C-alpha cells in the first residue's frame, strides 16, 4: 500500500486486511466471536451488511458473560457454522477472562483466532517458524490458549491494521491509550504499574509508526522528542527501522537527499502528555472539544450521550465547524442557512428546461445539506442550553476561575476560598471540581500543606472515602500536590521522570512559563485588525479560556522563534526555520522543566545533516515544499489541541514554512478522562 498519506486508504487497508484473513479460512458460514473493545473499530470500517457481503460471516457474538450460552444456541440451530474468534490483546498481553474460561470448559477440536496486530510486529514471525514442536517458542497467545485446552488444534491469524483517521483526514487515532478495562496506559491507576504500562504503550506506538512508514514508503529525515518517554519511542522506532532495512534500502536512503536537493522532507516530532499536564484539564471551547466534554465523542466518531455520528468525510458542515470557537458557530450557521435558502430560491429564476433540470438534480444534495444544517443547529442549541442551565457544570463560573488562575488575577487566599466555596455548595460535579483543584495546584507548584489537607478532608466529606484513591493517583501524576512534595523533589535534583514516588514536571510556577512563552497574549482592543474575535482569530487563544497551550508554543519554537525572541531571550539562532531546530533552547527547558536535556533532536540520515545546515539554497527551496511533519502524542491529545495545531500549520504557511501536519496520537483525552484515569470504550 502506497497511499502517499491519503488517510482514506488507511481505512481500506485495515478493512481489506480483515476480509482477506476471514476469506482465507474457506468456511461457508462463520460466527464471528468478537472482543467488546474491537466493535468501535469495526463500526468505523464497515456495516454488518458489508461484512456479510464480502466474507462468510453470518452472525456476530460478543465475548462476555453470555458467551457460552450464545455459542451453544447458535451451534445447536446451525451445526455447520464455524466459530472464529477476533481479539485485541496488544495492551493486556493476555486473553479476555471469559474467553480463556470458555476454552477451558469447551475443548474445541479446532480453534481459529484472529488477533489485531501490525505488519511490523516481530513476534508474529513465530507463527511461521517450521521447527520441531518440542523446540518451538510459541506465540504468547498460542501458549495461553494451549494452557486452557492442550489438545486443541490452534491456528493464529494476524489482522494487520494501521491507525485510522479520526475527526480529520490528517488526524490518526492509534486507539492504544486505554486498555480493554478502560485504564489509561500512560497514567495508570496504580503508580507501580506505570513503568510496565508505558513500555507496552511505547512498543505499540513504535509498531504503529513503523507500519505507517512502511505502507506509505516514507523515510524520516529528522526527529525531535520532548520528554523521556518520547525519546524512548524515537530510539526504539529508529532501531527497529534500521534493523529491518536491507542493504538496497540503506543505499536508497543515503542517496535520496544527496541527489535530490529539493526532496520532500519528513519530520517526526514526539511529545508526551506530562510535558503539558495543564491544557487537558481546561474547559474546551472549540465545537468539537465542547461536544467531547459534554457528550463524549467516541473513537467511532459518535456522541455517546446523543447517539449522533459526526463523520467528517460525509458531513461538510461538521468539517467546516469542528475546530472553531463555539462562539463563532452562530454567525457561521446563519450564513450557511442564508446560502442554502438562496440556492432554493434560485429555482424561481430557472427559465429553461436545462436550468430546471439542474435544480432538480441538485435537490437531493440540498435536502441532505438542510438535514445536516438542522442537526448542527439543534446540537449547538443543546450545548448552549446545557452550559446555561446545568447547575452541576457551573460552566461560566468554572471558566472564569480557570482564566483568573492562569492570569494570576487573584491571589492564593482568594483562589482557595473560591475552591472551598465550590466544595461547600455541593452542586458541582466532582470531576469538574477536581479539575479546577488540579489547575490550582499546577499553577502554584503545589498547595500549602495545611490547605492541601483541608481540601482533601472536605472532598472526602462531600464525595466519600473512595475519592482518596483518585486523589492519590493524581498526586503521583504530579497534578495534585502540596508544597512539601514540591520542595522534596527540588532537593532531590533528579532528572525528569526519574523520581520513583512523585512525578513533578514544571520547575517554575505557571506565571513565569506563561511570560517566557507568551501563552496569555494581551489583546490589542484598539487595533481592530489584531483583535482576536472568535470568527477570525489572530492567535491560538480561541480553543481555551484565552490561553495558548504550552505544547503549541514548544512545537512552534522549532520553526518560529519570534515569540521566544520577544519574551525569553532576544538572541536566537534564527527566527524562521524550514527544519525543526532545538538549538539554544536548553536554557528555556532548564527553566521550565529543570532539565536542559529533556528535548532531543536526531538527524536520521547523517548525509542530510551537511546539506540541512550548510546549504542555504536547500533551506530556501524547502520553504516552498509541502513537507510532512508527523506530530506524535504519547498520553493523548485533546480535540481543542488538534484545533490549535491546525491553526499553527496555517500560521507557518503564512510565513512561507509550508508544512503538512499529520497528527498521530495514542488516544483522545479530555479533563474528565485525565481525572478519572480511565475511559470505557463502549459501542452502541
Paired with 33 in beta bridges are 61, 85
Q: pLDDT tens across 139-159, in order?
A: 999 999 999 999 999 999 999
Orientation angle between helical segments 430-443 and 449-463, nearest 10 degrees:
170
114, part of any domain: yes
Q: Given pLDDT bands bounded at 50, 70 and 90, which one contains residue 495?
A: very low
| pLDDT tens digits along 267-301 | 999 999 999 999 999 999 999 999 999 999 998 99
Within-domain flag for 577: no
Residues 342 and 446 both lie in one domain: no
Q: Considering only CA atoms, which of 523, 283, 508, 506 is closest in space to residue 403?
A: 283
Mean pLDDT is lowest, of 309-323, 501-515, 525-539, for: 525-539
pLDDT tier for residue 10 given thresholds of 50, 70 and 90: very high
Largest CA distance in the chain: 84
Q: pLDDT tens-digit profile of 425-443?
A: 888 999 999 999 999 999 9
pLDDT digits (tens, 9 = 90+) for 578-595: 999 999 999 999 999 999
Pick from 671, 668, 679: which is nearest to 174 by CA?
A: 668
Same-domain status, 375 and 400: no
Concatenating the DSSP letter of every residue in 358-376 gives HHHHHHHHHHHHHHHHHHH
What percent of the chain clears pLDDT 90, i.e. is strictly above it? Answer: 74
362 belongs to a structural domain: yes
Cβ–Cβ < 8 Å for 170, 644: no
Q: Is residue 567 part of a domain?
A: no
Contact 210, 219 (CB under 8 A): no
Is the same domain home to 430 and 311?
Answer: no
Phi, psi of 425 (to 5 degrees): -65, -30
The answer on 13 and 126 residing in a single domain is yes
Q: Is residue 332 part of a domain?
A: yes
CB 476 within 8 A of CB 502: yes
Q: Are 436 and 410 in contact (CB under 8 A)?
A: no
Residues 150 and 22 in one domain: yes
Is residue 12 located within the same domain as residue 159? yes
Same domain, 477 and 345: no
User: C-alpha 65: how far from its chain's center?
Assistant: 31
Residue 610: pLDDT band with limits 50, 70, 90: very low
CATH assignment of the domain containing 36: 3.40.50.2060
Which 8-state DSSP code applies to residue 222?
E
Is 639 exposed, middle or buried, given 0-12, 13-18 or 19+ CB atoms closer than 10 A?
A: buried
Please write the tens of the pLDDT for every residue from 460-483.
Answer: 999 999 999 999 999 989 999 999
Range of the domain at 148: 8-165
The answer to whether residues 41 and 158 belong to one domain is yes
Considering the domain boundaries, does residue 134 fall inside one?
A: yes
Last residue of a domain, one of 457, 492, 527: 492
**Domain identity same for 312 and 415:** no
Task: Tell me the CATH number at 428.
Answer: 1.25.40.850
Residue pLDDT, tens place only, 308-328: 999 999 999 999 999 999 999
Rounded CA gap, 487 and 228, in Å? Answer: 22
Cβ of 451: how many Cβ atoms within 10 Å? 18
3-class secondary-structure state, position 523: coil
Asked which of 106, 138, 165 is the last residue of a domain, the reply is 165
Residue 71 has pLDDT above 60, yes or no: yes
Q: What is the CATH number of the domain that holds 328?
A: 3.90.830
Alpha helix positions (H), 149-297 = 194-215, 228-244, 247-259, 287-295
> What grid cell was written down for 121?
510486529
Share of the chain above pLDDT 70, in %: 85
Q: pLDDT value at position 441?
A: 97
Q: 584: left (phi > 0), else alpha (psi -120 to 50), else beta?
A: left
Of 619, 591, 447, 586, nearest to 513 by C-alpha is 591
The H or E element containing residue 514 is helix 510-517
Mean pLDDT of the chain, nearest integer: 89
The tally of domains found in the chain comes to 3
Judge whether residue 551 has pLDDT over 70.
yes
For residue 357, name the pLDDT band (cuts at 50, 70, 90): low
Residues 646-658 pLDDT 10s: 999 999 999 999 9
Q: What is the pLDDT of residue 505?
A: 76
Helix (H) or strand (E) holding 102: helix 97-105
How far is Cα 83 from Cα 30, in angstroms, rounded to an integer?
6
36 in any annotated domain = yes
Same domain, 45 and 157: yes
Q: Is the distance from CB of 74 to CB of 29 less than 8 angstroms? A: no
Quick one: pLDDT at residue 126? 76
Q: Which of 389, 413, 433 is the last residue of a domain?
A: 389
Strands (E), 434-577: none
- Note whether 37 and 136 are same-domain residues: yes
Q: Are 23 and 149 within one domain?
A: yes
Give Cα 557 distance to the centre of its chain.
22
Q: Does a structural domain hold residue 463? A: yes
Dist CA 499 CA 496 (whole Å): 8
- Does the structure show a pLDDT above 60 at 130? no
pTM listed for this prediction: 0.92
Amino acid at each position: 500500500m502506497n497511499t502517499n498519506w491519503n488517510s482514506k486508504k488507511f481505512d481500506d487497508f485495515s478493512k481489506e486486511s480483515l476480509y482477506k484473513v476471514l476469506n482465507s479460512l474457506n468456511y461457508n458460514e462463520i460466527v464471528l466471536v468478537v472482543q467488546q473493545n474491537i466493535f468501535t473499530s469495526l463500526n468505523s470500517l464497515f456495516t454488518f451488511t458489508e461484512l456479510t457481503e464480502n466474507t462468510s460471516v453470518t452472525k456476530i457474538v460478543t465475548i462476555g458473560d453470555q458467551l457460552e450460552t450464545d455459542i451453544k444456541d447458535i451451534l445447536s440451530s446451525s451445526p455447520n457454522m464455524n466459530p472464529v474468534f477476533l481479539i485485541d490483546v496488544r495492551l493486556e498481553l493476555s486473553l479476555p477472562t471469559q474467553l480463556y474460561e470458555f476454552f477451558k470448559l469447551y475443548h474445541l477440536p479446532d480453534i481459529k483466532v484472529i488477533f489485531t496486530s501490525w505488519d511490523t510486529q516481530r513476534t508474529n514471525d513465530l507463527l511461521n517458524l517450521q521447527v520441531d514442536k518440542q523446540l518451538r517458542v510459541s506465540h504468547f497467545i498460542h501458549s495461553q490458549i494451549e494452557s486452557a485446552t492442550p489438545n486443541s488444534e490452534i491456528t493464529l491469524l494476524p489482522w494487520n491494521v494501521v491507525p485510522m483517521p479520526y475527526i480529520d483526514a490528517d488526524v490518526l487515532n492509534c486507539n492504544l491509550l486505554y486498555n480493554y478495562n478502560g485504564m489509561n496506559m500512560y497514567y495508570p491507576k496504580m503508580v507501580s504499574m506505570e513503568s510496565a504500562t508505558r513500555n507496552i504503550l511505547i512498543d505499540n506506538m513504535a509498531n504503529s509508526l513503523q507500519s505507517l512508514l512502511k505502507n506509505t514508503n516514507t523515510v524520516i529525515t529528522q526527529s525531535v522528542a520532548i520528554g523521556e518517554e518520547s525519546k524512548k519511542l524515537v530510539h526504539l522506532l529508529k532501531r527497529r527501522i534500521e534493523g529491518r532495512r536491507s542493504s538496497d534500502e540503506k543505499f536508497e536512503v543515503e542517496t535520496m537527499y544527496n541527489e535530490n536537493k529539493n526532496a520532500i522532507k519528513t519530520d517526526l516530532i514526539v511529545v508526551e502528555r506530562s510535558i503539558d499536564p495543564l491544557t487537558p484539564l481546561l474547559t474546551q471551547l472549540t465545537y468539537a472539544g465542547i461536544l467531547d466534554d459534554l457528550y463524549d465523542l467516541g473513537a467511532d466518531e459518535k456522541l455517546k450521550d446523543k447517539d449522533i455520528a459526526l463523520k467528517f468525510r460525509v458531513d461538510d458542515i461538521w468539517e467546516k465547524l469542528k475546530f472553531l470557537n463555539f462562539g463563532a458557530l452562530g454567525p457561521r450557521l446563519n450564513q450557511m442557512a442564508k446560502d442554502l435558502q438562496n440556492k432554493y430560491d434560485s429555482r424561481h429564476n430557472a427559465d429553461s428546461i436545462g436550468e430546471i433540470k439542474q435544480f432538480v438534480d441538485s435537490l437531493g444534495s440540498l435536502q441532505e445539506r438542510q438535514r445536516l444544517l438542522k442537526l448542527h443547529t439543534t446540537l449547538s442549541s443543546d450545548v448552549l442550553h446545557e452550559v446555561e442551565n446545568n447547575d452541576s457544570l457551573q460552566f461560566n463560573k468554572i471558566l472564569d476561575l480557570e482564566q483568573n488562575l492562569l492570569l494570576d488575577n487573584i491571589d492564593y487566599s482568594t483562589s482557595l476560598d473560591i475552591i472551598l466555596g465550590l466544595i461547600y455548595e455541593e452542586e458541582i460535579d466532582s470531576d469538574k471540581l477536581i479539575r479546577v483543584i488540579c489547575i490550582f495546584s499546577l499553577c502554584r507548584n503545589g498547595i500549602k500543606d495545611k490547605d492541601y489537607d483541608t481540601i482533601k478532608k472536605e472532598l472526602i466529606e462531600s464525595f466519600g472515602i473512595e475519592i482518596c484513591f483518585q486523589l492519590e493517583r493524581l498526586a503521583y501524576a504530579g497534578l495534585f500536590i502540596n508544597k512539601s512534595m514540591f520542595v522534596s523533589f527540588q532537593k532531590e535534583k533528579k532528572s525528569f521522570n526519574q523520581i520513583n514516588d512523585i512525578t513533578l514536571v514544571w520547575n517554575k510556577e505557571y506565571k513565569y512559563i506563561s511570560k517566557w512563552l507568551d501563552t496569555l497574549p494581551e489583546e490589542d482592543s484598539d487595533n481592530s485588525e489584531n483583535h482576536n474575535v472568535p470568527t477570525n482569530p489572530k492567535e491560538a487563544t480561541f480553543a481555551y479560556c484565552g490561553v495558548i497551550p504550552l505544547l503549541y508554543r514548544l512545537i512552534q519554537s522549532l520553526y518560529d522563534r519570534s515569540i521566544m525572541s520577544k519574551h525569553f531571550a532576544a538572541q536566537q539562532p534564527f527566527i524562521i526555520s524550514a527544519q525543526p531546530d532545538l538549538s539554544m533552547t536548553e536554557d528555556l527547558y532548564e527553566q521550565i522543566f529543570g532539565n536542559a536535556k529533556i528535548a532531543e533532536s536526531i538527524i536520521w540520515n547523517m548525509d542530510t545533516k551537511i546539506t540541512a545546515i550548510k546549504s542555504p539554497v536547500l533551506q530556501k527551496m524547502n520553504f516552498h515544499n509541502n513537507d510532512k511533519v508527523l506530530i506524535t502524542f504519547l498520553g493523548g491529545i485533546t480535540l481543542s489541541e488538534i484545533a490549535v495545531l491546525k491553526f499553527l500549520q496555517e500560521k507557518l504557511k503564512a510565513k512561507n514554512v509550508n508544512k503538512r501536519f499529520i497528527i498521530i496520537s495514542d488516544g483522545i483525552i479530555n479533563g474528565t478522562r485525565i481525572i478519572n484515569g480511565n475511559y470505557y470504550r463502549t459501542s452502541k
